[in-house]
A and B are shown apart, each in its own frame.
Chain A
Amino acid sequence: MDPTDQEYVKQCRNGHPDDFRFLVQRYQRPLFAYLAHRLRDHSQAEEAAQESFVRAFFALAKLNKPESFHSWLIGIAARVVHEFQRTAKRRVETSASTEAVAVESAGEREEYVLDEAIAALPESQREVILLRYYEGLSCQQVADRLRTPVGTVTKNLSRAYAGLRQSVQSQPPAERSSEHELR
């Protein structure tokens, strides 16, 4: 079984900074998906994802709950999104363009609320979602990777689905509270 986020964070803090690559490997796709929904531009999303990871690395010492690394990372990314959007707005204002800065619709918010909800799932459920959908593994392959029966994988997926459905229905889009850890 792969080490947990907590273990990787601990390794980074204990003088093995190169282990941060495994956290990048694990979260680059979900983070990109979140940023692509928020920025609606793939190239900007890639840039913002890179920026978010770099900031996360340099803020690792301030992360209180290493097991919530993903959720914390999304919080950092939300802040990066604001900065990107502010810069874009300033550029529009400076150039006196008639084009309006895109206003985020409710539909767009719904799209990234799901990304935030994934980040907030319990680790066992989040892990199967990431492996199944972002690593593209089948349920059997996820089971092999985690060395658990396939039934455990589908149970965790099922619980994750229930949690995600509930979050998407009830959670208003908001900045993550964990963001304060950065300040």
Chain B
Amino acid sequence: MNCDDCQENLVANLEGVLDPQTAADCRQHVEECPACQSVEEATFKLHQELLGRGQAASRVSLVGSVMGRIRDERPKQAAEANPDGGAIFGKIFARWALALGTAAAAIVLTILLALPRTQATADEVLAKGAQAVANLTSIHFRGQLRTAPADNFSYINPEADFCTIELWEQFKPELKWRAEKPGRVLVMNGRSTVMLMKSNDSAVKIPQRTASAFDTEWLHRIANLSKTINNELNNARAKGWKLDLAEGTGADGTLKSIVTIMAKSDVPDNDYVKNSFFENADTRRVYTFDKQSELLETVQIYLTRPSGEVKIFDIDQIDYNQAIDASIWNLELPADVTWAQLEPPKLPDNRKYASMTAEQAARAFLEACAGEDWNEAGKFMSPITPDVKQYLGGLKIVSLGKPFTSTVYPGVFVPYEIELRPQEINVRVSNANAAKRCVVTGIYDSKLHLQQDLKGATTEPETLSDNDARLSPAQTVQAYFDAQSKFDWVEMRKFTSESDVAETKSQIEMAKKLGMDVQKLMPVVEVGQATWSADQSAWFVKCSMSQTKKWNLAVRKDNPAGRWQVDGGI
């Protein structure tokens, strides 16, 4: 490969779209050619500059405000610039002159002809709603979102339970904000932005103030109500989304204006991430405004799918301009917090990793986990927490599938099937109940740390017609897992609480909806010896649990080092 060919391929290589052979040739040439090394460095620097610019501007949305101002200023400018109705201005303003001309009769006629009456009024309600919240000093809202508690802030799952999600945002005198869901807390205190992931006590920090970070953009959009409402209005007009207006009465007897918008995302129906994140979902949005104050009071968002609608988000509390307690801007971190790298650094042998294909990177990561080479695994994922080591250490790769992409995700999905190393668990069993049958009352890890307490939720087991009080603790555990693996919920209920059955059932349903092979997902449990614990007045049955996992690893390389990083799908 010569210098011209190499330099023309540098960007493609950086973007990860070069075929492996050309990428390797390009790499080899760069390593041997100081001139191309210099161009590569400059290319990389420019790539970073441009990524930074795009990210900094990603929240900007000016269409509504610009078009609104143009409409407001049009009559004055037209009169000044073209008192006689000259050709070019006349043409430019011709369309709006029809809709917004100075003659009152024309206005009424045009609106009546062009738009259904309700749509014109819905526009007005939205415009007034935007005006009512144009100069907020702060906002706080709380809602319920169907999502996984520890997953991304914008992740939605119509099969999941509702989780509380909350945002506090102070606009004046200084921008500060905090977003929170059960498994994640994110605070921007005016100097830096830190997110704590509670499930594994890890955190990540951006050492500067941000207007939005870590997938909270959609929440900030709602917080920036004036813009949001304007955007809804603009999108409704530009994309032909249907707008409806209804009137209602609140519980306190006050009148409400209810605007409904049918929003359609641009993401194709067969896209892998369609309906998984807010931005990619087709939704019906219901905004309720107080008719007198014109303030937005509640928001409900429904996912609209061919199979029907399901409510995914419900904001039931919005506080405007209230003083936010200073403690909200503090984030207490666990003493043993693990810090994740914000962006992967460039390694001494970075080129080796930068030239990998997505599939090669996925395989290298899984192989590193298989061999428990955590230093190597850390080159593909940050942080490698004790949980990750426990979960993925010693895995066996069964197969990797053909990588695929989504129209809205900047990375690649690599299908994989792995066998996880058998884990030791201890199952607590008790027969201290009226039926005198053994039932499962808790799941513990190998160090006897409680993982799932089923005791509190267990109602007294009924005395069954075939009530077999002779089943030993070990046989009970075997029967419990057998029933679970056969999805026999009636049988499973004989050995555990109703809530355990419901939760297991719900997880299986969710996995099915996500397209997972649930038969393969079910753990295979080998039941061992039971030991009596006098402290707990229960038996502990030692078990070995092995599991196969078949899923899609999300990897992306749009980072300064240009290396593939595991972004999800573990």
Q: Could you tell me if A15 and B95 are in contact, using CB atoms closer than 8 angstroms?
A: yes
Distance between Cα atoms of A161 and B407 in the complex (Å): 24
Q: Which residue of A lies closest to B268 (CB)?
A: A144
Residues 25-82 of A contacting B (Cβ, < 8 Å): 25, 28-30, 32-33, 36, 42, 46, 49-50, 53-54, 57-58, 60-61
Q: Could you tell me if A158 and B12 are in contact, using CB atoms closer than 8 angstroms?
A: yes
Known: A58-B81, A138-B405, A154-B17. A17 touches B56 (CB 8 A): no
- What are 11 residue pairs bridging A and B, where the CB atoms are less than 8 Å apart in the complex? A13-B88, A13-B92, A15-B91, A25-B63, A28-B66, A29-B57, A54-B66, A58-B70, A58-B81, A135-B54, A150-B17
Residues 1-32 of B contacting A (Cβ, < 8 Å): 7-12, 15, 17
Query: How many Å from the CB of A137 to the closest CB on chain B?
Result: 8
Q: Could you tell me if B12 and A17 are in contact, using CB atoms closer than 8 angstroms?
A: no
Q: Which residue of B lies closest to A151 (CB)?
A: B12
Which one of A141, A161, A164 has the greatest number of beta carbons of chain B within 10 Å?
A161
Query: How many Å from the CB of A70 to the closest CB on chain B?
Result: 14
17 additional A-B pairs beyond A54-B70, A114-B49, beta carbons within 8 Å, are: A15-B91, A21-B67, A24-B66, A29-B54, A30-B53, A33-B53, A33-B57, A49-B62, A50-B65, A54-B69, A58-B81, A133-B53, A138-B409, A141-B407, A154-B11, A157-B12, A158-B12
Residue B94 at the chain A interface, CB threshold 8 Å: yes
Q: Which of B56, B61, B407, B408 contacts A28 (CB 8 A)?
A: B61
Total A-B contacts with CB atoms under 8 angstroms apart: 136
Q: Which residue of B lies closest to A51 (CB)?
A: B69
Q: Which of B15, B95, B410 contacts A16 (CB 8 A)?
A: B95
Query: How many Å from the CB of B239 to the closest CB on chain A?
Result: 11
Q: How large is the interface on A (under 10, 10 to 19, 20 to 34, 35 or more residues)?
A: 35 or more
Distance between Cα atoms of A151 and B96 in the complex (Å): 43
- B77 CB contacts on chain A under 8 angstroms: 58
Q: Could you tell me if B57 and A144 are in contact, using CB atoms closer than 8 angstroms?
A: no
Query: How many Å from the CB of B442 to the closest CB on chain A?
Result: 46
Q: Could you tell me if B66 and A61 are in contact, using CB atoms closer than 8 angstroms?
A: no
Known: A46-B60, A164-B46. A61 touches B69 (CB 8 A): no
Instruction: Please report A residues at the B interface, Cβ cutoff 8 Å.
Output: 12-18, 20-21, 24-25, 28-30, 32-33, 36, 42, 46, 49-50, 53-54, 57-58, 60-61, 114-115, 129, 132-141, 144, 150-151, 154-155, 157-158, 161-162, 164-165
Q: Could you tell me if A29 and B58 are in contact, using CB atoms closer than 8 angstroms?
A: yes
Query: How many Å from the CB of B67 to the closest CB on chain A?
Result: 5
Q: Which residue of A lies closest to B410 (CB)?
A: A138
Known: A158-B11, A164-B46. A139 touches B58 (CB 8 A): no
Q: Which residue of B lies closest to A57 (CB)?
A: B70
Residue B241 at the chain A interface, CB threshold 8 Å: no
Residue B111 at the chain A interface, CB threshold 8 Å: no
Distance between Cα atoms of A158 and B67 in the complex (Å): 35
Residue B113 at the chain A interface, CB threshold 8 Å: no
